[in-house]
Amino acid sequence: VASKLPPSHFQKSPWTWVCRERKCTKLDSTQVPPTETGHPLNVCKLNCGEYGSLLPKPTIKTEIGAGFVPFYPNNVKFEKLEGPSPRTKRLLNASVDIFKSYMLQSVSRYAEDGEDPFPENSTEYDRLSKNIVKVSIAIAHPFDKLTLNTDEGYLLSVQQQEDGATVIVTIQANTYFGARHALETLSQLIAYDDSKNCLQIVDRALIQDKPIFRYRGILLDTSRNFIPVPKLRRLIDGMSYSKLNMFHWHITDTHSFPLYSKSVPQLTKYGAYSPKQIYTIEDIAGLIDYATIRGVKIVAEFDAPAHVGNGWQFGPSAGKGELAVCINQEPWTEYCVEPPCGQLNPVNEEMYKILSEVYKDMLDVFDNDVFHMGGDEVNVKCWNSSSTITQYLTNHGKDLSQESFVELWGQFQIRALKLLKARSKDANMTAIMWTSDLTTKEHIKQYLDKKDYIIQIWSEGRDPIIPYLINEGYRVIFSNYDAWYFDCGYGGWVGGGPNNWCSPYKGWQQVYGNSPIDIYANATSQADANQAMKQGLILGGEVAMWTEQADGSSIESKIWPRAAALGERLWSNPTTDWSAAEIRMVANRQRLVDRGLDADQLQPEWCRQNEGLCHA
């Protein structure tokens, strides 16, 4: 909220901006040559440079006119909203309401000061209030939920009419999701003009657009630290602004179990950090609806058999034996990669019953077509420390070698997939698994069929597992930690540090430059990479916001605006580097803040106001 400025202190800014050589150049408004026109910065940015303020940049065609049409927010009229089903229409109306709120948000600073943003007693007001923006939206197919096969493309045209006062906007898309993306782009062709106290839309635009990668995600871990539901909604908001579409909800882990299971309420009773730090069915269903309107699919993860612990202690007292072993066991350095330890007990039949119940409760609310099963960082010593497990192996004629435990793990996984599929209403359900000892060339084909599993890669970009998996025909999602882990760079949290395991911090330029296609092509060839894309093996990627050292107080500035760089990397698959996107990244950061996100700052504001002058 801006401080209310005493009238005596208000001085009209002497500055204006003209577009020169694709950069908005700051000039004293008394010094603008007669051949040029100055505009407020945000207005200049709408059409200066090939892509104006658009992020991600469209992929097929981008034409933006050089002029502007001023208008007031109440003069955006949605004339024709054609959706071939009631559900499509309802969603479209919801997106239209969101769009209208963008229009009002950008004039909010005046509203906060209590000044009437639209003084209705001026000739200027009368003139501008005649300008109307008329929007028509046509969607070809009735609503179907977002999947990895959804067509998210759209056609957007903006055209000032000859009368000068009318701007016709038309949107065409095959699906609701394409139309929603078109509205997002439209909002990026509009800016607040503080010199005229109105909005400005570019006078012309023709945008043809569709994403290169289908999977464009953010992982958020809500177990190391609980993230309140309102913050999850804000995450989804932010994703929609960057056309990101997959919210990978890493909802449970060893540290806490916040997922309320109707069938197994002991899990949150013993596993939640506190009785109020849980996610109810209603919470989850509400978030899924919220996400769908905004073009986001929620991909649930139940990480197993490792990354399980707190919440599962109730087995013995319930007569079910140990459901998980080495829960919080010390010394943790022996039994897991970070405290606390814990892994499911793969030889306890009761465990599988409960696992099946958890799958049931999750699939009752989460999407059934894609489900993340986790599968990372199983620690052999942990299972080896349990006499029931070692006894089981011995009884089955196995030694206690690494291989025996990997086999045990593999069998667990085969069984878990069966249980999961038995609960799924989607016969073609696909599971996702992390790269791990189970996904090595020695093991993967024995346990993880490529028809059933997508593999999420978290190793370094140079790891040979990446070309191996793709060469073998596995569909993959990239999350290589050396560019896309957002928790990297802070202090140490186990011991004195000085810095955490995947340091240093990954700046937006690194996030932007991490190209899945290039990673694979560098290990094989460009031709191989093109083929892999054709075959749909490189689904896309995801940045990971692990929360050992983050929670609701700080995730927003850690995720944004860096995740917007991922947004362009995966939607547009740019062939230029970060420097060609810098001005738009900075403009986009301002837009995120204007829309209420606590996005971190990338540069001094001076750099945004003096485009191109903060160079190396």
Which one is catalytic: 113, 151, 377, 551?
A: 377
Residue number, 422 or 494, with CB nearest to its own copies: 494
Residue 549 contacts residue 500 (beta carbons within 8 Å)? yes
**Residues 512, 385: Cα–Cα separation, whole Å:** 44
548 binds its own copies (CB under 8 A): yes
| Binding to its own copies, residues 400-419 (CB under 8 A) | none
Q: Does 7 engage in binding with its own copies (CB under 8 A)? A: no
- Binding of residue 282 to its own copies (CB under 8 A): yes
Listed in sequence order, the residues at least 6 apart from 184 whose beta carbon sits closer than 8 Å to its beta carbon are 240, 241, 243, 295
Smallest separation, CB 313 to its own copies (Å): 8
Window 498 to 537, contacts with its own copies (CB under 8 A): 498-499, 503-510
219-246 residues labelled b (16+ CB within 10 A) or e (exposed): bbbbbbbbbebebbebbbbbbbbbbbbb
Apex CA 565: angle with CA 564 and CA 566, to 5°? 85
Residue 595: CB minimum distance to its own copies, A: 12
Min CB(319)–its own copies separation in Å? 16
> Any idea which residue has 């906007």 for tokens?
169
Query: Is 335 among the residues that bind its own copies (CB under 8 A)?
Result: no
Applying CB under 8 A, among 12, 121, 399, 427 the residue interacting with its own copies is 12
Comparing CB distances to its own copies, the nearer of 393 and 586 is: 586
- Of 8-16, 17-25, 97-105, 295-303, the window that binds its own copies (rule: CB under 8 A) is 8-16
Token representation of residue 112? 């906060």
Which region, left, alpha or beta, applies to residue 394 given φ > 0 means left and ψ of -120 to 50 means alpha?
A: alpha
Residue 427 contacts its own copies per CB under 8 A: no
d(CA 255, CA 533): 38
Q: Which of 59, 390, 524, 609 is in the footprint of its own copies by CB under 8 A? A: 609
Angstrom distance (rounded) from CA 263 to CA 148: 30
- Asked if 142 interacts with its own copies (CB under 8 A), we say no
Tell me the residue type at 263. S
Give how many residues touch its own copies by CB under 8 A.
90
Give the angle 509-436-254 at the CA atoms, nearest 5°.
Answer: 90
Asked if 297 touches its own copies (CB under 8 A), the answer is: no
Q: By C-beta, is 285 or 422 nearer to its own copies?
A: 285
Scan residues 561-600 and list those touching its own copies (CB under 8 A): 577-579, 593, 597-600
Which CB atom, from 278 or from 378, has the smaller least distance to its own copies?
278
Q: Does 377 bind its own copies (CB under 8 A)?
A: no
Sequence letter at residue 213: F
Catalytic: which of 39, 248, 255, 307?
A: 307
CB of 586 to its own copies, least distance (A): 10
323: contact with its own copies by CB under 8 A: no
Per DSSP, the three-state class of 343 is: strand
DSSP 245: -
Q: Is residue 614 involved in binding its own copies (CB under 8 A)?
A: yes
CA angle 217, 219, 222 (to 5 degrees): 150
Closest C-alpha among 221, 259, 246 to residue 570: 246
Q: Is 273 in the site for its own copies (CB under 8 A)?
A: yes
Contact between 280 and its own copies (CB under 8 A)?
Answer: yes
Rounded distance between C-alpha atoms, residue 595 and residue 451, angstroms: 41
Exactly one of 283, 357, 407, 594 binds its own copies (CB under 8 A); that residue is 283
* 497 burial via Cβ count (<10 Å: 0-12, 13-18, 19+): exposed
Q: Which of residues 466-495 bind its own copies (CB under 8 A)?
A: 489-495
Closest CA to 277 of 313, 337, 218, 232: 232
What HEC string does 122-165 produce? CHHHHHHCCCEEEEEEEECCCCCCCCCCCCCCEEEEEEECCCCC
- Give yes or no for residue 234 binding its own copies (CB under 8 A): no
Q: Write out the E strands in 305-437.
A: 324-325, 343-344, 370-374, 430-434
Q: How far is the CB of 408 from its own copies (least distance, A)?
A: 27
Nearer to its own copies, 270 or 531 (CB): 270
Q: Where are the beta strands (DSSP E) in 140-244?
A: 154-160, 166-173, 190-193, 198-202, 204-209, 215-221
What CA–CA distances, in Å, run from 138 to 30, 172, 413?
46, 5, 45
In whole angstroms, the minimum distance from the beta carbon of 224 to its own copies comes to: 4
Q: Under rule CB under 8 A, which residues in 164-223 are in contact with its own copies?
A: 194
Q: How far is the CB of 510 from its own copies (least distance, A)?
A: 6
Single-letter amino acid code for the residue at 461: G
Q: Which one of 108, 328, 459, 524 is in contact with its own copies (CB under 8 A)?
A: 328
Candidates 45, 57, 204, 255; binder of its own copies (CB under 8 A) is 255
397 belongs to the binding site for its own copies (CB under 8 A) = no
Of 135, 168, 174, which Cα lies nearest the Cα of 155?
174
Decide whether 82 or 283 has the Cβ nearer to its own copies: 283
Q: Would you say 175 or 515 has its CB closer to its own copies?
A: 515
Q: Contact 146/170 with Cβ under 8 angstroms?
A: no
Please indicate whether residue 307 is annotated as part of the active site: yes
Does 5 sit near its own copies (CB under 8 A)? Answer: yes
Of 118 and 273, nearer to its own copies (C-beta) is 273
Is residue 291 near its own copies by the rule CB under 8 A? no
* Minimum gap (Å) between residue 318 Cβ and its own copies: 13
Instruction: Compute the distance between CA of residue 228 and CA of residue 552 in angstroms, rounded to an integer.
Output: 7
Please choose, out of 6-14, 45-53, 416-424, 523-531, the segment that lies near its own copies by the rule CB under 8 A: 6-14
**Exposure of 13 in the CB half-sphere (CA atoms within 13 A):** 14
From the list 253, 376, 556, 582, the catalytic residue is 253
C-beta closer to its own copies: residue 449 or 577: 577
Point out which span in 46-54, 57-65, 181-189, 274-282 binds its own copies (CB under 8 A). 274-282
Let me know if 248 is a catalytic residue.
no
* Min separation Cβ 273 and its own copies, Å: 5
Q: Report the site for its own copies in 45-104 (rule: CB under 8 A).
A: none
Q: How far is the CB of 372 from its own copies (least distance, A)?
A: 20
131's tokens: 């300008």
Residues with catalytic function: 253, 307, 377
